[in-house]
């Protein structure tokens, strides 16, 4: 895939409509985590340095096409201005006279944030008239919100067909990282998929099997695979109805020459609660009242060896109930092993998924991976092999 980047854009005096993800955590009208604001800074800086007028488009929460005052983007203005080190103007509407007047008064290098796009039903409906109304205030369109790219909305897809469209700096970084992980990876490629459910990750497993040399399955979903192979899983989280499905995944992996690594030992306890007595068990030794809550040390050692033999790692889903120690042990050990390989230049490691990102922070290695995607749903759809409309729309024919 090829995209126009801001390196090739004429920026001086141009009105740049920039789609960002400012759907930030907020409590009582105060931004409590500015990660997403920071993510937009490289693009904003580049546009300002080139003399463009920076007009930021964003959604917040789910107002469902109505003006909901508690879902205003106004609380973002002050922390954003502090991060940029320059004033940020705000318009109470993203289209119409209010927006038009605010844009008309801008000078090169100015920054303006427009009110929540989703106050208008036309945004999520990808209504051409709404996209037109937004587009009237721009000379070029920049999409810097990979996390919203799985939605075909007016600001994530429609605008790309109206104005010359560019990938922003964060978008470009994310697309490059994902391409290095699954698009044109250095082989062998190892995947790690964990988390709770097989049911939500079936499409992802099938797509990965087509692209990976080795796939390690952990977490609650591994219990369903072990159950499908006839092992006792006691009182573990398990989806017995999906035993056939799990056997189908194993057959699919065999057919496509993707080696599957299932746990060879497990850590059990009677409950997933702090301070529980935990025991390592071989397969077949899990008692009826025990729950499998983590992978065992031999499983971790074998996964570490698989990492040693891989050039690329793609990871989604924790290997155990990492929120409750000691059931974080396998996830933390595996994450640290991967991080050490990245540091020594022997592995490209890309990870994503809400709980996976938390688990990597918990292990203290989130910054040591090659790339960690915070894009949530967009990341998972990309792992499923689904073309993302917001990315497709940026593609140069
Ligand atoms: P992500 O958000 O990264 O995509 P998931 O939401 O699929 O990951 O899975 C994360 C959840 O899986 C965590 O809450 C974790 O506690 C749970 N989990 C992992 N292993 C087990 C297990 N053996 N039994 C029950 N739940 C598990
Ligand atoms: Mg999750």
CATH homologous superfamily of domain 185-366?
Phosphoglycerate kinase, N-terminal domain (3.40.50.1260)
CATH fold of 6-170: Rossmann fold (3.40.50)
Instruction: Report the side by side order of strands in the sheet with 348-352.
Output: 259-261, 214-217, 189-193, 312-316, 348-352, 371-373
The confidence band for 1, taking pLDDT boundaries of 50, 70 and 90, is confident
**Cβ(24)–Cβ(148) below 8 Å:** no
This prediction's pTM:
0.93
**What residues are paired with 351 via a beta bridge?**
315, 372
What lies within 8 Å, CB to CB, of 387 at 6+ separation is none
**Cβ(22)–Cβ(40) below 8 Å:** yes
Q: If residue 266 lies in a helix (H) or strand (E), which one and from where to where?
A: strand 265-269
Q: 86, 173, 156, 167: which is closest to 396 by C-alpha?
A: 167
Length of the chain: 397
Equal fold, 6-170 vs 185-366 = yes
For 108-128, what is the mean pLDDT?
98
- Write down the pLDDT at residue 397: 74
- Write down the pLDDT at residue 295: 98
The string of pLDDT tens digits covering residues 136-152 is 999 999 999 999 999 99
Instruction: Report the side by side order of strands in the sheet with 89-91.
Output: 89-91, 111-114, 53-57, 15-19, 140-143, 165-167
- Write down the pLDDT at residue 54: 98
- Write down the pLDDT at residue 19: 98
The confidence band for 165, taking pLDDT boundaries of 50, 70 and 90, is very high
The confidence band for 8, taking pLDDT boundaries of 50, 70 and 90, is confident
**Cβ(158)–Cβ(131) below 8 Å:** yes
Q: How far is the CA of 356 from the centre of ligand 1 (A)?
A: 9
Q: If residue 363 lies in a helix (H) or strand (E), which one and from where to where?
A: helix 354-363
- Write down the pLDDT at residue 2: 87
What are the boundaries of each domain within the chain? 6-170, 185-366
Q: 372, 379, 374: which is closest to 348 by C-alpha?
A: 372
pLDDT at 205 over 80: yes
SS3 content of the chain, % helix, strand, coil (to 5): 40, 20, 40
Q: How far is the CA of 309 from the centre of ligand 1 (A)?
A: 26
Probe target for ligand 1 pocket from 216, 220, 322, with the most ligand atoms within 8 Å of CB = 220
Residue with CA closest to ligand 1 atom 21: 220
Q: How far is the CA of 104 from the centre of ligand 2 (A)?
A: 43
**Cβ(262)–Cβ(222) below 8 Å:** yes
- Write down the pLDDT at residue 235: 98
Residues lining ligand 1, Cβ inside 6 A: 194-196, 219-220, 237, 292-293, 316-318, 320-321, 323, 353-356
- Write down the pLDDT at residue 375: 93
pLDDT at 363 over 80: yes
Torsion, Cα 365 371 372 373, to 10 degrees, reads 180
Probe target for ligand 1 pocket from 238, 318, 350, 374, with the most ligand atoms within 8 Å of CB = 318
pLDDT at 263 over 90: yes
Q: Calculate helix-pair angle for 41-49, 77-84, nearest 10 degrees.
A: 60
Catalytic residue among 13, 354, 376, 385: 354
The confidence band for 266, taking pLDDT boundaries of 50, 70 and 90, is very high
281: phi then psi, degrees, rounded to nearest 5: -130, 145
Q: Is 331 helix (H, G, I), strand (E, B) or coil?
A: helix
The string of pLDDT tens digits covering residues 277-319 is 999 999 999 999 999 999 999 999 999 999 999 999 999 999 9
Q: Catalytic annotation on 36?
A: yes
* Token pair for 373: 């995607």
Give the residue with greater pLDDT, 47 vs 199: 47
Q: What is the mean pLDDT of the chain?
A: 96
**Look-up of token digits 């109470």:** 92
The two beta strands, 279-282 and 265-269, are antiparallel
Q: How far is the CA of 273 from the centre of ligand 1 (A)?
A: 15
For 317-336, what is the mean pLDDT?
97
160: phi then psi, degrees, rounded to nearest 5: -65, -20
For 83-97, what is the mean pLDDT?
98
Share of the chain above pLDDT 70, in %: 100
Instruction: Kindly identify the ligand whose nearest atom is closest to the C-alpha of 384.
Output: 1
Residue with CA closest to ligand 1 atom 11: 195
Residue with CA closest to ligand 1 atom 22: 220
Q: Catalytic annotation on 377?
A: yes
For 236-244, what is the mean pLDDT?
96
* Token pair for 209: 């099997």
Q: How far is the CA of 218 from the centre of ligand 1 (A)?
A: 9
């Amino acid at each position: 895939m090829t995209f126009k980047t801001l390196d090739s854009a004429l920026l001086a005096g141009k009105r740049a409509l920039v789609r960002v993800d400012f759907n930030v955590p907020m409590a009582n009208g105060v931004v409590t985590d500015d990660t997403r604001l920071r993510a937009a800074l490289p693009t904003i800086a580049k546009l300002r340095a080139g003399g463009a007028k920076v007009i930021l488009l964003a959604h917040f929460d789910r107002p469902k096409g109505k003006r909901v005052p508690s879902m205003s983007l106004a609380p973002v203005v002050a922390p954003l201005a502090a991060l940029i080190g320059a004033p940020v103007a705000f318009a109470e509407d993203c289209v119409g006279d209010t927006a038009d007047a605010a844009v008309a008064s801008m000078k090169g290098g100015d920054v303006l944030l427009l009110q929540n796009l989703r106050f208008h039903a036309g945004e999520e409906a990808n209504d051409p008239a709404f996209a037109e109304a937004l587009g009237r205030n721009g000379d070029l369109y920049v999409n810097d919100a990979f996390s919203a790219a799985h939605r075909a909305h007016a600001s994530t897809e429609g605008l790309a067909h109206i104005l010359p469209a560019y990938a922003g700096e964060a978008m470009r970084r994310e697309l490059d990282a994902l391409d290095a992980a699954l698009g044109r990876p250095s082989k062998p490629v190892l995947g790690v998929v964990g988390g709770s459910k097989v049911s939500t990750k079936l499409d992802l497993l099938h797509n990965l099997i087509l692209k990976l040399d080795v796939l390690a399955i952990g977490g609650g979903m591994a219990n369903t695979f072990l159950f499908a192979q006839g092992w006792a899983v006691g009182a573990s989280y398990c989806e017995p109805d999906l035993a056939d499905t799990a056997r189908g995944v194993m057959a699919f992996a065999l057919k496509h020459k993707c080696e599957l690594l299932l746990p060879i030992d497990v850590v059990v306890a009677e409950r997933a609660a702090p301070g529980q007595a935990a025991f390592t068990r071989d397969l077949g030794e899990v008692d009826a009242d025990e729950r499998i809550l983590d992978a065992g040390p031999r499983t971790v050692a074998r996964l570490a060896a698989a990492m040693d033999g891989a050039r690329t790692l793609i990871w989604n889903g924790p290997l155990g109930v990492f929120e409750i120690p000691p059931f974080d042990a396998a996830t933390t050990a595996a994450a640290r092993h991967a991080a050490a390989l990245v540091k020594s230049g022997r592995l490209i490691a890309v990870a994503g998924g809400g709980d996976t990102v938390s688990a990597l922070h918990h292990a203290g290695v989130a910054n040591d991976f090659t790339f960690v995607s915070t894009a949530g749903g967009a990341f998972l759809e990309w792992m499923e092999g689904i073309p993302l409309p917001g990315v497709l729309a940026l593609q140069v024919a």
